[in-house]
Structure 1
Amino acid sequence: MAVTDICLNVEDGVTTTSPPDPPRIANGNSVCHSSLPLPHSDSHDGKGSHERSKLCNFFKQKINCPMNIHSVSNTLRQHCDYNQIAMPEEPENCLPNEWWKTGVALLYALFNLIFTTIVITVVHERVPDKSVDPPLPDKFFDYVDRVPWAFTVTEVNGLILVGLWLIQWIFLKHKAIVGRRCFFLIGTLYMYRCVTMYITTLPVPGKHMVCAPKLYGDSTGKIWRILRLLSGGGLSLTGSHLMCGDFLYSGHTVMLTLSYLFIREYSPRWMWWYHWLCWVLSASGVLFILIGHEHYSVDVVIAYFVTTRIFWWYHTMANTPSLRQASNNYLSRTWWNRIFNFLEKNVQTTVPIMFEWPLALRSRRRQRYSQVEGGRDD
C-alpha cells in the first residue's frame, strides 16, 4: 500500500494546507523539501489526532519525495538527454600477452639458427684454399694492421650486450610481445644470412685464419661439426667455430647491433648513460671485427644496414596501427607482412616501457585463484 493512502486513512477528516511546490531536479536526482506542511488538527480530535499527524509526517519524511513515481519518470524522459559515454579500453586489453605466439616466434628463430649452422657446414666445403686464392682487397685492411686479440674483444662485448638485454627483457612487463619481436627479427636476419652465404662464397679475409679440414662426403663428421657449433654458440672463445665461409654477412655484427637497438628501444629515455654504454660496447665490438681482420668491410656494412632497416621497418608498423591497413603503405609489401600481422594482430597500441618483478604476474594469478576459492567456500 502506498504511503499516501496510509496517510489518507490516518488523517481521515483532517484539513490540510495547500500542496507543496513541485520538487526540483538537480543532476538527474530529485530533491525533496526538508520539511512538509503539517496538517492542522481540529480541537475535538485532541491528542490522538495530533499523534496521527506526527505519524503521517514521519512516513513522508522517511520516503524520498512521496510523489507519483510515474510522473517523475515521464518528466525525466521529456527533459533529460541520456548521452552514452564511450569508456576507453583498458591497456591490458590492447596488449594481450599471447605467450603461444611468442613460442611460435622462438621456434622460428631456433629453426633458422640451426639451419645457419647447416649452411655454414655446407659452405665450408666450398671455401677456396687460401694458398691458391688470396684474400680479396679491402680498403680497411690496407690502412689498419691486424690485431690478434681484437676479435676476442668483439665476442666479449657481444656476450655483455646479450646478457644486459636478457636481464632487461626478464624485468619488462610486456615481455611476451617484446620477446616475439626479438625472436622474429633474429630468425629473419639469420635466414637472410643463410641465403647470402650460400649463393656467394668468399675466400678467407686473412691468411691468419685456421679452417678445419674438409670432410667432403663424410656425413657423420658433418653432423658432429653442426652439433659442436651449436653447443659452443658459434663463438671462437668456446673453440666451436673452426669452419670458414660464413663471411657475407657478419653474424657478430647482427647480434651486436640488434642487442643495442632492443636495449635502447625498451628502456626509459632518461637512462641516457645506459644507452651510451651499450652503444660504445656495440660500436667498439663492430670495429674490432675489422681490426681483427675476421670479416671483410662489406660484411659488416651489409650486416649493419640489413639489421637496422628491418628493425626500424618492423617497429614503425608495430607502433603505428593505422599503417597496417593503409592502401598506400609500401612497408606492407614485404614478404613477412603476413607473419607480422599474425604476431601483432591484437597489439593495438605502442608497448609502454614498464618493468615488474618476474614473479609478480604469477603472484597475482595465485591471489586471484585464492580469492575465487574463498568465494566458493562462502
Structure 2
Amino acid sequence: MAASELIQNDERPHVEVNVTTTNSSTPQRVANGNPAQHSPMPAPQSDAHDGKNKLSSLFKQNQLIHSLSNGLKRHCDYVKITVSEERANRLPKEWWKTGVAFLYALFNLIFTTVVITIVHERVPDKSVNPPLPDKFFDYVDRVPWAFTVTEANGLILVGLWLIQWLFLKHKAIVGRRCFFLIGTLYMYRCITMYITTLPVPGKHMVCAPKLYNDSTGKIWRILRLISGGGLSLTGSHMMCGDFLYSGHTVMLTLSYLFIKEYSPRWMWWYHWICWGLSVSGVLCILIGHEHYSVDVVIAYIVTTRIFWWYHTMANTHALRQSPNNYLSRTWWNRIFNFLEKNVQTTVPVAFEWPVALPSCCRQRYRMVEGGRDE
C-alpha cells in the first residue's frame, strides 16, 4: 500500500512531461491529468516493483526532455548569430577601396584640366573657322542666361546627391562606385577632346588668349580652373576646346542616376524633381549654344551605358562567373572585380545617421529595437 501511494504522489508533478508515453501498462488518466481512482485494496509485491521501474523511467524521460530543450535553445541562439554575421560580411565597407576609387577620380579630374589647357592652344580662330552647322541651332536661337541655369541645376543635383550619400548606410560601397564612374567618364572625355578639336559652337564665345610656350602661364590656368571647379559661374573657365563631349551633361545625368538608384521607390516625387532639374539643365546647354548637339548626345549615351553596365554586373552575381557574360570583356572588368569582389549581394537602400549618436540615445535605440525583436 505504501508503494502504491508513492507511485501516485511521484507521478503527479510529471504529468505534463510524460505526454508522449504510450505504454499500455501506465495508469489511465482523465481529462484533468489526474490518474484514475481505484478502489483501495492491498497491492501485491509485484506492483511495488513495477512502480519503482516506472518512477525511474519517468525521471530518465524528464532528464532527457530537459537536455533536449536546452540543446534546442542553444542551437537556435547559434543560428541567429551566424545569420546576422553572414549578412554583415556580405556587404563589407572596405573604405580603403573607396579611397583608391577617390584618388582615381581625382587624378582624372585634374588630368582633364591639363588636357583642356593643351587643347585650348589648338582651337582654330572663329574668324577663320566658323562654327559647324548644327540642326538644333538652326531652330532655336541662343538665350544668354541659359547656361547659368545649367550650372545652377548641376550644383543643386550634386548637392542633393552628396547629402543623400552621407545618410546612406552602405556609403562606402556606393561611394567607390560613384568615384569610379566619374573617373572613367572624364578619362574618356580627355581622349575625345584631345583626338578631335572642334571649333567653337558660337561666335558669342570669348576664349582666353593662347599662351603657346608659356608653361608657367599654363600652370596658373590649370590651378585657376581647378579652384573654380571648371564652372563659368566662378569665372574660372575661360578656355575653349572642351566640347566633345559635354562634361556638364555627364554630371547632370550621373547625379540623377545615382539619386534615383539609391533612394526609395516611394519617393517618386523626389525622382521627378531631380529628373526635371537634369533634363532642363541639359536642354539649357543647347539653348545657350555652349555645346554642339553631338556633344550632349554622346555624353548622355556614354554616361547612361557605363552606369547601367556597371550596376548590371554588380547586382547580377551570376554574370560574374558566366562564360557568356560579354560585359566582362570591358577593359575595366579587372577594376570592377577589385572593387566589387567582396560585395556578395545587392546593396539595399538603407539610411543611417552619418554621425554617431550619443550614448544615451544609442541605449534608448537598442531598447526600442530589442522590444521590437521580442
Question: Which of the five TM-score ranges fits, normalised by the shorter chain?
Answer: 0.7 to 0.9
Of 73, 96, 100 in structure 2, the residue corresponding to residue 100 of structure 1 is 96
Q: Indicate which of 323, 328, 353 corresponds to 1:357.
A: 353
Change over 3 Å in CA distance of 1:271–1:133 after alignment to 2: same
Q: Deviations over 1:148-183 (max 9, x none)?
A: 111001000000100111111111111111111100
Per-residue deviation at 1:25?
5.3
Deviations 1:74-130 (A, max 9, x none): xx9xxxxx9x98964643221111111111110000000000000001111111111
Spell out, residue by residue over 1:251-287, the C-alpha distance to the aligned partner (whole angstroms, 9 max, x if none).
0000000000011111111111111111110000000
Q: Percent identity?
A: 79
Q: Aligned residue pairs: how many?
A: 324
Partners in 1 of 2:6 and 2:359 — Cα distance? 66
Establish whether residue 171 from structure 1 lines up as the match of residue 164 from structure 2. no
- 2:62 aligned with 1:66: no
Distance in 2, Cα, partners of 1:206 & 1:91: 56
Aligned equivalents of 2:254, 2:346: Cα separation in 1: 20
The structure carrying a bigger helix percent of its residues is 2
Q: Structure 1: state its 5+ residue gaps.
A: 1-13, 27-32, 37-41, 43-56, 77-81, 368-378
Unaligned residue ranges in structure 2 (runs of 5+): 22-28, 36-41, 43-51, 69-74, 364-374
Q: Alignment RMSD, CA only?
A: 3.7
Q: Deviations over 1:162-218 (max 9, x none)?
A: 011111111111111111110000000000000000000111101111111111111
Query: In structure 2, what is the Cα distance between the partners aligned to 1:360 and 1:161?
Result: 26
In the TM superposition, 1:240-251 aligns within 5 A as 240-251=236-247
Q: Does 1:226 align with 2:226?
A: no
Whole-angstrom distance in 2 between the partners of 1:91 and 1:354: 14
Q: Match of 1:218, as an amino acid?
A: D
SS in 1 for 2:60: coil
The alpha-carbon distance between structure 1 residues 353 and 272, as it changes in their structure 2 partners (threshold 3 A), is same
Q: 1:215 to 1:91 in 2, by over 3 A?
A: same
Q: What is the alpha-carbon distance in structure 1 between the residues aligned to residue 61 and residue 155 of structure 2?
A: 79
Quote the residue 2:337 is aligned against.
341
| Residue 346 of structure 1, CA deviation | 1.1
1 CA distance for matches of 2:353 and 2:226?
A: 31
Q: Could you tell me which amino acid in structure 2 is paired with residue 66 of structure 1?
A: F
Residue 248 of structure 1: CA displacement?
0.2
2:319 maps to 1:323: yes
Match of 1:131 among 127, 131, 138: 127
Counterpart residue identity of residue 67, structure 1: K
1:182 matched to 2:198? The reply is: no
Q: 1:105 to 1:281 in 2, by over 3 A?
A: same
Q: How far did 1:359 drift?
A: 1.2
The residue identity in structure 1 corresponding to 2:202 is: G
Relative to structure 1, the CA distance from residue 15 to residue 294 in structure 2 (aligned partners, 3 Å threshold; closer, same or farther) is closer
Q: Which residue of 2 aligns with 1:282?
A: 278
2:130 counterpart letter in structure 1: P
